[in-house]
């Protein structure tokens, strides 16, 4: 009988201990007072109490720590996403540019990379689209040539393959190539360049022919056109605008 009561006592202690552990609190004193042998001698449950208390604290600490880390990680991800969206709302960025901007804000590198990968998968970041849009804009508004555009895109961190593809789409736009195809530019692109060069040529009418040539060479070379294109444009200008 005494043994049976002892088992019952211990079972009750463990049941209460499990409940206490779930609540992250030690075993209540009233449970310990009722746990006795049949002869009335008190059972030494201090080690059990300490064990349950320690386990309760350990489990509670681990659970709270995991929850805290999860909350912090989610909060940081939201902060990085918000910062990235605000930057992209102001202007377009390449992947490399956006990464540098976010890193300057002291966000964790792995979180930045995860957000960028997510944005790329959603189409919010696209170096190929950026490169083509940038190339076309600089070509049509500033008459930049392939060489200068490529240099600018490289500085922005756009991969070589994306740069080459973008410049081909802009300067070799699918027209039937004639002799100009050897210059890496379509006939339509050469016509556009010649129209812009003609304006510069007309503005220098007061200069000597040699000075006009030198001026046109500098203008074309500065904008990133190779010597083959430069020479072809100057020859055509001299043929269509002979000196008086």
* CATH architecture of structural domain 126-171: Orthogonal Bundle (1.10)
Chain mean position to CA 139: 27
Task: Look up residue 44 and give its DSSP letter.
Answer: -
Alpha helices in 29-159 (DSSP H): 29-34, 46-90, 95-103, 109-121, 127-142, 146-155
Kindly report, residue by residue over 118-141, the tens digit of the pLDDT.
999 999 999 999 999 999 999 999
Kindly report, residue by residue over 15-72, the tens digit of the pLDDT.
444 444 444 344 444 434 444 444 444 444 444 444 544 544 454 444 545 555 556 5
Pick the closest to residue 36 from 59, 80, 69, 2 (CA basis). 2
pLDDT, position 91: 96
pTM of the model: 0.68
């Amino acid at each position: 009988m005494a043994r049976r009561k002892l088992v019952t006592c211990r079972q009750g202690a463990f049941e209460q201990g499990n409940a206490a552990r779930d609540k992250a609190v030690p075993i209540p004193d009233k449970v310990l007072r009722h746990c006795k042998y049949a002869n009335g001698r008190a059972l030494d449950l201090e080690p059990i109490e300490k064990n349950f208390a320690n386990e309760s604290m350990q489990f509670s600490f681990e659970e709270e720590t995991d929850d805290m880390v999860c909350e912090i990680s989610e909060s940081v991800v939201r902060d990085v996403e918000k910062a990235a969206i605000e930057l992209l709302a102001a202007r377009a960025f390449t992947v490399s540019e956006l990464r540098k901007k976010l890193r300057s804000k002291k966000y964790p590198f792995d979180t930045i990379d995860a957000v960028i990968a997510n944005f790329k998968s959603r189409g919010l970041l696209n170096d190929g689209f950026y490169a083509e849009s940038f190339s076309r804009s600089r070509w049509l508004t500033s008459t930049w040539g392939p060489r200068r555009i490529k240099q600018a895109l490289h500085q922005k961190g756009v991969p070589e393959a994306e740069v080459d593809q973008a410049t081909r789409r802009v300067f070799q736009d699918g027209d039937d190539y004639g002799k100009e195809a050897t210059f890496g530019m379509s006939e339509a692109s050469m016509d556009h360049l010649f129209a812009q060069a003609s304006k510069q040529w007309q503005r220098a009418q007061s200069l000597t022919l040699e000075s006009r040539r030198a001026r046109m060479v500098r203008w074309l070379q500065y904008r990133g056109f190779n010597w083959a294109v430069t020479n072809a444009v100057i020859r055509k200008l001299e043929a269509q605008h002979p000196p008086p």
